[in-house]
Amino acid sequence: MKDSKLGQYLDTDRIVVSGEMSSQKRVFEILGELLSTGLERVQNTQISIELQARERLGCTALGHGVAIPHCRIDNVSEIRGAVIKLDSGIEFDAPDDKPVDLIFALLVPQEANQEHLETLSELAQFLSDKENRVRLRECHNAQALLDALMIDNDHQTI
């Protein structure tokens, strides 16, 4: 994907590679911890609760082992992301009934409607490409995964 902005929402402190988690609830707890890193006015439990509430409205799993949980929250000035790459997939109510092992979470400012939709769309498009999913699953550390998100479809670093 040319000019991908996905990496701008992440840093290596918010990426877990080779994680083992037993449930969707535990994934949301860890995502709350990751997404709240460095935020003073937002608690990890608040993020976890909001992610779970959004998931109850509709499944965020896309299929092919990928999910994009997301929520809007007050006291956040910009979109931030977190990624968990699991060693073994977990049940996530995916449309293809496959377990999820790549989880990309977005925390979005309450008022960022258009940017939220554009970012979700870009992420979904990126993850719908089989080569991108394979490349991400081959990553063994946070920096490699971040670098993989900064590559366009021609495999050029952007």
What are the residue numbers of the active site?
Answer: 70
Q: Nearest-5° angle of CA 107, CA 17, CA 139?
A: 110
71 forms bridges with which residues in the sheet?
107
Q: Where are the alpha helices (DSSP H) in 58-107?
A: none
Rounded CA gap, 6 and 124, in Å? 11
Nearest residue to 1 (alpha-carbon basis) of 135, 144, 138, 137: 135
